[in-house]
Amino acid sequence: MEAVRSSTDALPKEASRALTLPPTPPATASHSRDVSSDSDSDFEREVKGRHDPSSVKPAAYPLPPKTRPDIAVLPEDFKTPDNHVPRDSRLIRLTGVHPFNTEAPLSELYDEGFLTSENLHYVRNHGHVPKVEDDETLSWEFSIEGMVEHPIKLTLADLLKDYEQVTYPITLVCAGNRRKEQNVVRKTKGFSWGAAGLSTALWTGVVIGDLLKRAMPKRGAKYVCLEGADKLPNGYYGTSVKLNWAMDPNRGILVAHKMNGEALHPDHGKPLRVVVPGQIGGRSVKWLKKIIVTAAPSDNWYHIYDNRVLPTMVDPEMSANLPETWKDERYAIYDLNTNSATCYPAHNEKVPTVGTAKSYNVRGYAYAGGGKRVTRVEITLDKGKTWSLANISYPEDDYRLASDDETLYGGRLDMSWRESCFCWCFWDLTISIDSLAQADDIMVRAMDESMMVQPRDMYWSVLGMMNNPWFRVVIHKEAHELRFEHPTQPALMPGGWMERVKKAGGNLSNGYWGETVHGEEPSAAEQEPAIEICLVNKDVKRTITIDELRQHSGETEPWFAINGEVYDGTSYLEGHPGGATSIFGAAGQDASEEFLAIHSENAKAMLPQYHIGTLDDVSRAILSSGEVASVNAADNEGPRATFLQSKVWTKAILSAKKRLSSDTKTFTFELEHPSQTTGLPVGKHLMMRLRDPVTREAIIRSYTPISEIDEQGKLHVLVKIYYDTPERKGGKMTQALDSIPIGHFVDFKGPTGRFEYLGRGMCSIGAAQRKVKRFIMICGGSGITPIFQVLRAVMKEAEDPTQCLVLNGNRAEEDILLKAEMDGMIAGNEHRFRLLHTLSRPEASWTGPRGRIDAELLEKEVGPCADPDGDDLVLICGPEPMEKSAHAILGKMGWKDEDLMFF
């Protein structure tokens, strides 16, 4: 294997001498393999019969590690749409249980060698994996269409029979590789990949240019759009590459049906996918269904709003309102940038400073993009003042030595003429223990043949992609040993010097890796975590199975689970502020996500009195998937008349945002089909769920939409956005909602709430009905929305005799929401509708009441409770201080709690 060497004396003599030693790449398999694998069907063997397996000699190039025979469907996936996909439990899940996005532990990935087994190959799925049975694979059909003279429809059987097969080693890299480092500095909109978001395999298939030549692109065609079969909230996943790349054999773009000699695994595109060497993994579309030749880049949602590096000054909030910026092809990512990482020493690895070992072999990987070769890797022990060259090995070059007619796994090993580099390489440098003991860190950078070198500092961007600054491993001197610390650990795994430095108040963006610079004020350290509240009754020892839990999934004795503990909600059905429907909706299910995201510390402290037992380990594993409820029932049951479901999260697509004031917007969502209604009764709420883009933690809040109850196809939600200020953190949900782009989805569930207006003065509160002659409606800010919904229902029916008094408090006139709509209701209803707006910070021109909703205003407009029959009902919704104040004042005026309804 080729190695790059140097005689530099930048490191001490012991380290410099190491540069003359041969490189030590990770072990690779060296066994020979038949052209036809054991998994080939009779048809495939027939098609490949022109190849003689007996001619295969022991390979001089790496062959893949054997797959593990014990891989099965994991318990975490039992309740997800991926319950047909066997997976390796060693993979680290980056986005919770579902969808499946994973990387291998970095050390295990490196130890497998140049080629990665199917088991440990990283996975990037946007949704559920399409299920394709083995007997359906050869009939899998895809099309070549668009700007072509001869549109083509092909099956996999046609692909095998009519086209030459080739086999290439190709490294795939997710554009989010090393994103966790960016997320620690500042949250991006992407989840936290570690440094193992890449893998290498032998891919067998047909050169895409051969297919396009037969279809004959028309004059003016410039792009090849690719679309998969994975149905997602924003359509099928799709993207595009340039046509001249697809036609260039040096680019090596494949339509592949095998990985490491085996039929494609479901996670990797079974039965057919595209593999694009040298470009980000997001261009290599899985479950291929369409190849569309076009004059312009793809207009697919995922091509536009994914895999982009926007300018660094664009933050998550700004990005939501910049559709033209997202569509700008200058910011689209195609070729990979040059990158490297240290694999050994591993994170938290310890090396003795005393003993027989006098040196340590530091080693890792590097890669470049666009077919370029990594030409040097450099190591520094003094933060870049001096550097030494590492050895580099290129296992990919071993395949170039194969003869022109050599075949592998049924495909010609078409490598001898090719100069493009499709794969990662390995670097190593032996450094004396004494030199390591004198250093604070080890840093590595790589350069490619175009002299592009990894930057010293991070380029933060809103999606957190293409992160490639110098990879820094910190060295801790401990008793008789050195301990090494990587920058981060993937997903939510704690650890790494970046998190440690940030928690200590270090500024990770100061260009000095968080070390305090002279004259720089340290930033405030993160707050200490809150004291954990006990959620269980420690005297309860009962073990409960999932079958027992599911027997209580109805409205009689509803049980639910939180963090593997089981609770009986029966005794709280009447008293629950969200109404009995909230508990019924969670009955028989894991309610961890919803409960912990919504409820206050006081509510959590109440749980022990409802605790009845603990799920057994098997039941806990089966129930662990909170994502199964995200699957639209429409996928399984056909169109539904109403959108909301009490036990299932359903997705709606954001289609419009309308600004009403400086901090308030109406968000419009498209329902599943144009004739669908929300199914939300008057006075009830719905729950909305988004996910924190970094932690994947669910953000769930209740809202009352302002849509008409019978409106079809659309849902309108008015939201006051609480932005971050220097004095306080803003609203998690409102800012997250504001940051998502048009075309993104939001999960909905419902209805919830204790109150429902039935019409003509009849209400339902909990399980009881009540006749009301007058509503006194007290609200503030966006608390107008549930009030507005009830008010509109009353005023809409001319024969409804119910009286309404609305007291609406705001700061300034521009803050009054739905003012025009309420003013419009007054006309013709003056005898039963009175509306008062009071402002705490009015302009001089304001002629209405001034000040807050206080005792003076309530005594004047509402007065003491003089109705012993309960014909008056007070509805209250607004900021917590306003609600508490109104509650106290009305109580002193003789109003009973049963006559007050807080939304």
Query: pLDDT by residue (tens digit) across 521-558?
Result: 555 444 434 445 788 888 999 999 888 888 888 777 88
pLDDT for 363? 98
- Return the CATH number at 233: 3.90.420.10
Decide if 307 is catalytic.
yes
Q: How many CB atoms lie within 10 A of CB 857?
A: 19
- Tell whether pTM > 0.85: no
For residue 568, tell me if it sits in a domain: yes
Residue 732 corresponds to which tokens in the numbers above? Answer: 């998690």
Which of the listed residues 455, 482, 503 is the one where a domain comes to its end? 503
Closest alpha carbon to 453 in 375, 343, 388: 375
For residue 248, tell me if it sits in a domain: yes
Q: How many CB atoms lie within 10 A of CB 604?
A: 16
**Does residue 713 share a domain with residue 771?**
no
**Does residue 234 share a domain with residue 376?**
no
- Return the CATH number at 463: 2.60.40.650
Decide if 397 is catalytic.
no
Query: pLDDT band for position 578 (50/70/90)?
Result: low
| Mean pLDDT on 272-276 | 98
- Return the CATH number at 860: 3.40.50.80
How many separate domains does the chain show? 5
**Does residue 774 share a domain with residue 747?**
no
**Does residue 592 share a domain with residue 547?**
yes
Decide if 174 is catalytic.
yes
**Would you say 704 and 903 are in contact if contact means Cβ atoms under 8 Å apart?**
yes
**Would you say 12 and 435 are in contact if contact means Cβ atoms under 8 Å apart?**
yes
**Residue ranges of the binding site:** 174
Which residues span the domain enclosing 499?
13-26+336-396+415-503
pLDDT for 626? 43
Query: pLDDT band for position 232 (50/70/90)?
Result: confident
As a whole number of angstroms, the distance between CA 283 and CA 242 comes to 11
For residue 764, tell me if it sits in a domain: yes
Tokens 């293409």, located at residue:
466
For residue 59, tell me if it sits in a domain: yes
For residue 36, tell me if it sits in a domain: no
Residue 342 corresponds to which tokens in the numbers above? Answer: 């240290």
The secondary structure of residue 590, as a DSSP letter, is B
User: What DSSP letter does each residue of 329-382 carry, written as one string?
Assistant: GGGB--BPPPEEEEEESPTT-EEESSSS--EEEEEEEEE-STTPPEEEEEEESS
**Would you say 614 and 565 are in contact if contact means Cβ atoms under 8 Å apart?**
yes
Closest alpha carbon to 439 in 479, 471, 484, 480: 484
Tell whether the model's pLDDT for residue 40 goes beyond 50: no
**Does residue 842 share a domain with residue 872?**
yes
**Would you say 700 and 597 are in contact if contact means Cβ atoms under 8 Å apart?**
yes
**Does residue 865 share a domain with residue 834?**
yes
| Mean pLDDT on 314-325 | 84
As a whole number of angstroms, the distance between CA 754 and CA 683 comes to 9
The residue that leads in pLDDT, 450 or 782, is 450
**Residue ranges of the binding site for Mo-molybdopterin:** 174
**Does residue 782 share a domain with residue 877?**
yes
Residue of 40, 77, 267, 306 marked catalytic: 306
As a whole number of angstroms, the distance between CA 558 and CA 588 comes to 7
- Return the CATH number at 562: 3.10.120.10
Nearest-Å Rg of the Cα atoms of the chain is 32
Mean pLDDT highest for which of 179-183, 588-592, 760-764? 179-183
For residue 585, tell me if it sits in a domain: yes
Residue of 234, 307, 467, 632 marked catalytic: 307
**Does residue 61 share a domain with residue 176?**
yes
Residue of 40, 77, 101, 174 marked catalytic: 174
**Does residue 564 share a domain with residue 464?**
no
For residue 317, tell me if it sits in a domain: no
- DSSP three-state, residue 247: helix
Query: pLDDT by residue (tens digit) across 821-870?
Result: 999 998 888 889 999 999 999 999 999 899 999 999 999 998 887 666 67
**Does residue 777 share a domain with residue 682?**
no
For residue 480, tell me if it sits in a domain: yes
**Does residue 92 share a domain with residue 21?**
no
